[in-house]
Amino acid sequence: MPALTVPPEAYDEAYYRSACWGQVEWERSGGREMAAIYPGALQAAQAQSGEVLVDIGAGRGELLVAAAQDGLEAIGVEYSEAAVALAELTLEQHGRPAGARMIRADSRAIPLPDCTADLVKMLDVIEHLNVPEQLATLREARRILRPGGRVLIHTMPNRLVYDITYRLQRRLRPRRRSAWPRDPRVDYEHVMHVGEQTVFSLRRRLRAAGFVEVDVSHGEWVHTEFVPDDAARSIYHRLAAHRLTAPLGCGDLWGRARRSTRASRSGTALSSA
């Protein structure tokens, strides 16, 4: 298996403490607090007590704690040594909840049996993988899901806010172009975001990986930190407020899908489902 495009050493402790979603709550509390996206993601997936969750790209491990507190068995998968260490610290700060554990592994080859999980989550992971890596990871997610099991994906940014909305704004401001860099992405994004998504690309990936009941939608976060002035930022909020223009204003995406319950003669879910 070829090495992943972004090497594990790129995800060092500084990244998880300063630039990984939820770092403010985690850092100020030494791992005892978590951002609302983690329990919110469980609600979005309608997670139920007694289910098995596999969190691919578990980061500091907050979702594992939230899931265990709701009565799920929660398994985190990370290939960054720094992430595993911080996740272990998070679990320790919460008294090592029963049923929560970490595995250090490549997302394309997760050391879990087929049909292990009821729910697989990938929160802000898929944009860190190129297209072949995305497909391999999604197929692995499908393999470890039980028939009828769900996958929930969150990704930021919606690529269109950079590639269309920002570029148009920059082009319309020739006299102020020096304040508008050609590419507004920060250093971490340049290094790590090798697979940013749109609604259409994420939908294609999920279907190509064999998932059914695929539903990809825009989220509610309006991402404007990269925009140089207040007047320009307001445009994103106006775009996000309307269904037809939301793709140009909404900053994040949610993807939901299931593993088919149909089986082939060999007893495995149909790859074409």
Domain containing residue 253: 8-258
In a domain, residue 124? The reply is: yes
**Percent above pLDDT 70 for the chain:** 96
In a domain, residue 263? The reply is: no
Q: What is the CATH number of the domain that holds 116?
A: 3.40.50.150
- In this prediction, residue 174 carries a pLDDT of 74
Structure tokens at 102: 């970490």
Q: The pTM is what?
A: 0.93
In a domain, residue 51? The reply is: yes
For 32-42, how does the pLDDT look when each residue is reduced to its tens digit (9 = 90+)? 999 999 999 99
Strand order in the sheet with 253-258: 100-104, 73-78, 52-56, 117-123, 145-155, 253-258, 212-218
In a domain, residue 270? The reply is: no
Distance between CA 90 and CA 34 in Å, rounded? 10
For 145-187, how does the pLDDT look when each residue is reduced to its tens digit (9 = 90+)? 999 999 999 999 999 999 999 999 999 987 777 889 999 999 9
In a domain, residue 128? The reply is: yes
In a domain, residue 271? The reply is: no
In a domain, residue 130? The reply is: yes
In a domain, residue 193? The reply is: yes
Which residues pair with residue 81 across a beta bridge?
none
Q: How many domains does the chain have?
A: 1
